[in-house]
Amino acid sequence: MNQELNTSALNEQNSQENLPEKIQEESISDYQDYSAKSLMEIIEIFQQMLDRADQQELYKNADIIKAAFYKVLKKEKIAVGFHYSAETGEVNEEESEENLVSNNPFAELERGFKELYQNYKTMRSSFIQNIEKQKEDNLKIKLEIIDELKALLEKQEDLNHTFPAFRELQNRWKATGPVPQSSNKDVWENYQFSVEKFYDFVKINNELRDLDLKKNLEIKSDLCVKAEELIEENNVVDAFRKLQKLHEEWRELGPVPKELREEIWERFKKATSAINKRQQEFFERLKEDQRHNLELKANICEKAEDIAALENIDGKDWNNLSKQIENLQSEWKNIGFASRKENQRIYDRFRAACDKFYNAKRDYYSGFKVQMQDNLDKKNALCEQAEALKSSTDWKKTTDQLISLQKKWKEIGPVARKQSDAVWKRFRAACDEFFENKSKHFSSVDESYEENLKRKLELIQEITDYKPDSKTAENIEALKDFQARWSELGFVPIKEKERVQAAYRHAIDSKFADIRSTDYDHKIDRYKKHIKELQNSGRGDRGVRSERDKLVLKFRQMENDIAVWENNMGFFAKSKNADALLLELDKKIARAKEELAQIEEKIKVIDNQQ
Distance CA 297, CA 277 (A): 30
Q: What are the sequence ranges of the domains in the chain?
A: 369-443, 460-609
pLDDT of residue 141: 92
Average pLDDT over every residue of 81-94: 41
- Where is pLDDT greater, at 455 or 589? 455
Instruction: Give pLDDT tens digits for 16-36.
Output: 333 333 333 444 345 577 878
Buried b (16+ CB within 10 A) or exposed e, 69-81: beebbeeeeeeee
Provide the total of helices (H) and of strands (E) in the chain, helices listed first. 19, 0
Phi-psi region of 233 (alpha: psi -120 to 50; beta: other; left: phi over 0): beta
pLDDT of residue 114: 92
Q: Which of 82-86, 337-341, 360-364, 397-401 has the highest mean pLDDT?
A: 397-401
Stated pTM of the model: 0.36
pLDDT of residue 571: 61
What phi and psi values does residue 597 have, to the nearest 5 degrees? -65, -40
Amino acid at 444: S
Q: Kindly tell me if the per-residue pLDDT of 299 is higher than 90.
A: yes
Q: Whose CA is closest to 466, among 485, 492, 443, 487? A: 485
Q: What is the mean pLDDT of the chain?
A: 78
User: Dihedral (C-alpha) 96, 97, 99, 103: value to the nearest 10 degrees?
Assistant: 160
Largest CA distance in the chain: 176
pLDDT of residue 23: 33
Q: Kindly tell me if the per-residue pLDDT of 4 is higher than 70.
A: no
Average pLDDT over every residue of 86-111: 53
Q: Kindly tell me if the per-residue pLDDT of 9 is higher than 50.
A: no
Q: Kindly tell me if the per-residue pLDDT of 190 is higher than 80.
A: yes
Share of the chain above pLDDT 70, in %: 80
- Where is pLDDT greater, at 487 or 430? 430
pLDDT of residue 25: 40
Average pLDDT over every residue of 107-117: 89
Instruction: Give pLDDT tens digits for 336-350.
Output: 888 888 888 889 988
The answer to whether 214 touches 198, Cβ cutoff 8 Å, is no
Q: Kindly tell me if the per-residue pLDDT of 118 is higher than 90.
A: yes
Which CA distances in Å does 255 have to 142, 197, 211? 20, 12, 11
Q: Give DSSP secondary structure letters for 408-454.
A: HHHHS----HHHHHHHHHHHHHHHHHHHHHHHHHHHTTHHHHHHHHH
pLDDT of residue 578: 60
pLDDT of residue 444: 62
Q: Give DSSP secondary structure letters for 55-76.
A: HHHHHHHHHHHHHHHHHHHHHH
Distance CA 318, CA 366 (A): 13
Distance CA 579, CA 500 (A): 14
pLDDT of residue 224: 92
Rounded CA Rg of the chain: 53
pLDDT of residue 12: 37
91 bridge partner residues: 84
What phi and psi values does residue 370 have, to the nearest 5 degrees? -65, -40
Q: Give the torsion sign (CA, 55, 57, 59, 65).
A: negative
Buried b (16+ CB within 10 A) or exposed e, 311-342: eeeeeeebeebbeebeebeeebeeeebbbeeb
pLDDT of residue 81: 61
84 bridge partner residues: 91
Least confident residue range of 8-22, 163-177, 256-270, 528-542: 8-22
Average pLDDT over every residue of 146-171: 77
Average pLDDT over every residue of 270-298: 89
Q: Kindly tell me if the per-residue pLDDT of 272 is higher than 90.
A: yes
pLDDT of residue 137: 92
Instruction: Give pLDDT tens digits for 458-496.
Output: 888 888 888 877 666 777 788 788 888 887 777 777 778
Average pLDDT over every residue of 218-233: 89
DSSP 489: S
Distance CA 565, CA 151 (A): 126
The answer to whether 298 touches 342, Cβ cutoff 8 Å, is no
pLDDT of residue 301: 92
3-state class of 84 per DSSP?
strand
Q: Kindly tell me if the per-residue pLDDT of 171 is higher than 80.
A: yes
